[in-house]
Amino acid sequence: MNPSLIDILLRPDAFFSRLATENESLKIPALIILAGGIVAAIHGFLMGSLNAKMMAGVMPGMDIILYLVTAAGALIGVFIFWILAAGVFYLLSLLFKGQGSFNRVLAIAGYGYLPQIAGSILTLAAAIVYIPKITVPVLTKAALTDPAMTAEVTQALMHDPAMRELTQITTLVSIVFMLWSAHIWIYGMTHSRGLSPRDAAICVGGPVVLYVLYMTYTLGVM
Amino acid sequence: MKSHLFLTGICLLLLTGILPGTALAYATPESIVAYGHVFVSRAVYDPAVFFSGDHGTVTVYVTNGNGNESVVVNHAIIGDKNIRLTSNSYETSANIGPLQTQPFIFSVTADAVEGTYYPIFSLGFRDAESLYYPAMVKIDDTPLDISVIDKPDTYTPGKKKTVGLLVANPRNNNVTNVALEVTGAGITANPERIFIGEVGARAKVPVNITFTPRQETAVLLTLIYNNGDNPHRTTMEIPLVFRVDKKQANPVMSNVQVSSETGVYHVTGDVNNAGLETANTVMVTALAPAVPLDPYKTYVVGALKPDDFGSFEVTFTAEPGNTSIPIELSYKDDDGNIYRSLQDVKISSAGISAASASEGGSSNLLPVAVAVVLILLFVGFWAYNLKRNKK
């Protein structure tokens, strides 16, 4: 791995102070996001098998389409997340009179996503172990017209013991690596937008902590 | 008037002259001695022992014991108020040759209650006084007896059972045309009538009856027989109360496992026969709301002997929301009766979550706590970091 990428994970302050002196480039951040998207797509492909089983009674023979749609959704979702995160950081930094372009914020959001690739690989491994153990209820055509029944089926899937454990592991791993990303983003925002560490911590920590709290809440009510 | 008196006088003279002359012509001392050798050798009743009210016959055998002299009888009759004569008496002259036996047959009716009776047989001789003979006969109302000597422990609906009976004749005479009829509401007997034939005095005959009950009832056994030509019957009831057959086959499902693949549920498991009889044609299938699906819509395990076991697999689909599916286990006994039992099998964890909501809640506490700790560590680290930088 490029030593500078190691710096992102372990010495983000030094990495971003050096990056601030260089020209803006989204090449590496985009590659990081793409890598994260590919891992997420593979994870989505596996999770798509659950959807395919659930929909087998409604759309027989459509398994591969469901797999591809889920995988593509995960891939695109990572890119959307990248842009949304950068947008939120950028807008919040405006409150603290932050300086610098959106592209630079986009770049630091991309670099900061690096820990989450590791998290995605871990959750992918967990999915490979747990998905075969999950009992998937089958959705029929009649049930598809009844939203209550559809919700009930989804609930049944989510309450499967294997599915529950997989969700817990995935959520905790995601929280850990999301906080790691937030740690990186705070340093990135400090250098890219000329914010004080306190303001940068508020710009990044605020939405990230809220997001993580939401994840914790969903974990609790599951 | 004078002519009438003359004729009457002539007749009286003739009568007084003829009749004493005739009697005196046969009732000689020799004839009296000869008639003294005439005797009743035996009297046979049919039936040998009567029921009260029975009709029958009595045959009285009269033997002329004279070696070279015939006797003439001109009147024979039997009966009294208990053993009533229902046929005509003998009113014609008959000759019984030397050392010959002449039967006199009468029809009689036993009008009395149980006991021993002696109706008098009277035989009038032409040349001597009459002969009187008490012909003993018994009236006995003891019927034939049915005893149950072997019966099943329990009766169950639709299951053929055999009961061992003993038909006994406690009477002192044979009975004929003995037959046993098996009837009852809600039972099928095979055969319904068993012909036994003749049963001797104080004899017994074992009989097995087989029937299949469909409801709790009483089996009516009717023993029909003839005492002579008189039909009689004896009845007996065997109450049928259904209970659990302690020996019947008892297939039990165990090691049941559910898996799901592309919306098709596979239920596998074992069937053990925990009973004492063989379970034939053991079959396993899923019932509504499940929709059985190939390749194992119905799984035929086959015959299971006691303590034997076999594996099964059934495949089906089910509407969403169904947390459990009834799995039917059926088998046949030796008579072809089908027995069914159901066992609910959970096919999704929805039921589990409903049943163990509190368990689910508590199992989430640990990851939530870990998540909160992580957030606090992150916030605490940065609060400390910022405070240190400020200084």
Q: What is the predicted ipTM?
A: 0.85
Q: What is the pLDDT of residues A53-64, one digit of tens each?
A: 777 766 667 778
A118 Cβ contact partners less than 8 Å away, ≥ 6 residues apart: A177
Q: Does A149 touch chain B (CB under 8 A)?
A: yes
Q: What is the pLDDT of residue B280?
A: 85
Q: What is the pLDDT of residues B175-190, one digit of tens each?
A: 999 999 999 888 888 8
For helices A63-95 and A197-221, give the axis angle rounded to 10 degrees.
140
Query: Please, are residues A222 and B361 in contact by the beta-carbon 8 Å criterion?
Result: no
Q: Does A176 touch chain B (CB under 8 A)?
A: yes
For helices A161-192 and A102-112, give the axis angle rounded to 10 degrees.
140
DSSP letter at B218 equals E
Q: What is the pLDDT of residues B113-152, one digit of tens each?
A: 999 999 999 999 887 788 999 999 999 999 999 999 998 8
**Token pair for residue B195?**
């012909």
**Residue type, position B11, single letter:** C
- A-chain residue closest to B259, CA distance: A135
Could you say which of B258, B367, B386 has the minimum Cβ distance to residue A197?
B386
Q: Which of A8-12, A175-179, B147-151, B364-368 has the lowest mean pLDDT?
A: B364-368
Q: Name the nearest CA neighbour of B197 among B218, B214, B174.
A: B174
Q: Which of residues 109-138 of A touch B (CB under 8 A)?
A: 135-138
Contact residues on chain B for A216, CB-CB shorter than 8 A: 368, 371-372, 375
Kindly tell me the number of DSSP H helices and DSSP E strands found in chain B.
Answer: 4, 27
Q: What is the pLDDT of residues A187-213, one digit of tens each?
A: 999 998 888 989 999 999 999 999 999
Q: What is the pLDDT of residue B133?
A: 93
Residue B360 pLDDT grade (very low, low, confident, very high; cuts 50, 70, 90): very low
Q: What is the pLDDT of residues B16-57, one digit of tens each?
A: 333 333 333 356 777 777 788 899 999 999 999 999 999 999
- Cβ pair A156:B350 closer than 8 A: yes
Most confident of B125-129, B156-160, B168-172: B168-172
Q: What is the pTM of this model?
A: 0.49
Q: What is the pLDDT of residue A144?
A: 67
According to the 3-state scheme, what is the secondary structure of A57-81? CCCCCCHHHHHHHHHHHHHHHHHHH
d(CA A91, CA A219): 29
Does the pLDDT value for residue B352 go beyond 50?
no
